[in-house]
Structure 1
Amino acid sequence: MNLILLYTSDFIDARHVRISDRRFHHMRQVHDAQPGDSFKVGVLNGLIGRGDVVARNDDYIDLSIRLDRAPPKPLPLRLIMALPRPKMLKRTLETVATLGVKELWLINSYRVDKSYWSTPILAPARIREHFLLGLEQAGDTRMPEVHIRKRFKPFVEDELADIAKGTRALVAHPYDAEPCPHACSDATTLAIGPEGGFIAYEVEKLQAAGLTPIHLGPRILRVETAVPVLLSRLFPL
């Protein structure tokens, strides 16, 4: 936890917060937080600063806070992903939040197992939990926004062209594709397929919506590996 995220409900007054949940247990057990200790803090969707411990007991920690700077800039990216298997989904949610993705679309694909859509990880509270872990790791405060689309064809035909309009629009695909372009800060729409990739029909539909297939070379990567590799190649992180 590289940042203590603060919520509206934590505030005692404008300059003081009281923490009594898992953040409190982390500060006590991992850092042995004592009065006078200082921590990096940030208000969810707000500013970042420092928090000084002013009181601690067995139930809570009180901090005096000062907020004086903006969080890291988000990536100029709309990330579209075929829904990964649940175990990988948890890690991927945390990874995209850590890397600064603020707009995530989870979509269906021929190779997405139907059972994946029933995972409890897709519950808003569980998605939020994993996003928060990613933000704490990165020292960020801006919560990503997630959109879920369970039907591939209506999404691609009715929404994707508008989503990708005016952006560098790409689909990661290991076959018949161009090399991954150089890093830049241009607004980008990036689609990443499931394990095994998008099928040919899906790639054709994505191309019809304006996305250009790109590849990372001859190696075939797992989704959880492809995401950070692609983002590090496409943007000056």
Structure 2
Amino acid sequence: MNLILLFDDDFIAPARVRLSDRRYAHIRAVQQPEAGQTLKVGLLNGAIGRAQVLRVDDQSIELETCLDQMPPTALPLTLILALPRPKMLKRTLQTIATMGVKKLCLINSYRVDKSYWSSPLLADAAIREQLLLGLEQAGDTQVPDVSLHKRFKPFVEDELPAIATDTRALVAHPYEASECPPAEQTLTTLAIGPEGGFIRYEVEKLQQAGLAPIHVGQRILRVETAVPVLLARLFPPL
């Protein structure tokens, strides 16, 4: 936990918070602070800063906060991702939050198993939990917006063209594709397929929506690897 995320209901006074949940347990076990020490904190969807430890005991910790800095810059990206298998989804949600993605559309695809859509990991609370873990790792506070799209064709035909307009619109596809373009801090729409990739029909529909196929080399990557590799290739370090 590189940043302690604070929520509005943690505040017991204008600049004072009391924590007694898993964040407190982590602070007590790992950081082992004493009164007077400072910790890095951030308000969810708000500013980041420092907090001085006022009191810590067996039940809770109280902090005096000073939130005076902006969170890290977000990637100018809408990520379109075919729904991964549940175990991979957890890691991927953490990764996208850590790397600064703020807009994620989880979509269906021919090679997405129907059972994935009934996973409890798609509940709002479960998605939020993984995103918060990613934000804590990165030292960020801005929660990504995640939307679910269970029908491929209506999303690609009715919604994607507007999303992709006036952006660098790309689909990661290892066949009949151009080399990944150089890193650039520009508005981007990126689609990444499921394990096994998008089928030809899906690639053609994505192309009709304005997305150009790209690749990152001859090696075929798993989704959980492809996401950070593509983001690192497409955007300069922030």
Give TM class, smaller chain: over 0.9
**Structure 1 residue 31: deviation in Å?**
1.1
Query: Match of 1:16?
Result: 16
Query: Match of 1:66?
Result: 66
Could you list the per-position Cα deviations for residues 34-71 of structure 1 after superposition, in whole angstroms to 9, with x for gaps in the alignment? 21121100000000000111001111100011111100
Could you list the per-position Cα deviations for residues 133-188 of structure 1 after superposition, in whole angstroms to 9, with x for gaps in the alignment? 00000000000000100000010011100011110000000000000000001100
Could you list the per-position Cα deviations for residues 185-229 of structure 1 after superposition, in whole angstroms to 9, with x for gaps in the alignment? 110000000001000000000000000000001000000000000
In 2: Cα distance, 1:11 partner to 1:122 partner: 29
**TM-score, normalization by structure 1:** 0.99
**Structure 1 residue 33: deviation in Å?**
1.9
**Structure 1 residue 13: deviation in Å?**
1.1
Query: Match of 1:120?
Result: 120
Query: Match of 2:79?
Result: 79
Query: Match of 2:169?
Result: 169
Query: Match of 1:203?
Result: 203
Q: What SS does the corresponding residue of 1:81 show, helix, strand or coil?
A: strand
Q: What SS does the corresponding residue of 1:170 show, helix, strand or coil?
A: strand
What amino acid does structure 2 have at the position aligned with 1:233?
A: R
In 2: Cα distance, 1:69 partner to 1:196 partner: 43
What amino acid does structure 1 have at the position aligned with 2:9?
A: S
**TM-score, normalization by structure 2:** 0.99
Matched, 1:89 2:96: no
In 2: Cα distance, 1:93 partner to 1:101 partner: 10
**Structure 1 residue 99: deviation in Å?**
0.1
Q: Percent identity?
A: 68
Query: Match of 1:141?
Result: 141
Matched, 1:158 2:158: yes
In 2: Cα distance, 1:86 partner to 1:71 partner: 29
Could you list the per-position Cα deviations for residues 96-139 of structure 1 after superposition, in whole angstroms to 9, with x for gaps in the alignment? 00000000000000000001101110000000000000000000
Report 1:33-48 matches (<5 A): 33-48=33-48
In 2: Cα distance, 1:161 partner to 1:73 partner: 26
Query: Match of 1:56?
Result: 56
User: Any runs of at least 4 consecutive aligned residues in structure 1 with deviations exceeding 4 A, and if so which?
Assistant: none
**Structure 1 residue 14: deviation in Å?**
1.2
Uncovered stretches (5+) of structure 2, i.e. residues with no partner? none
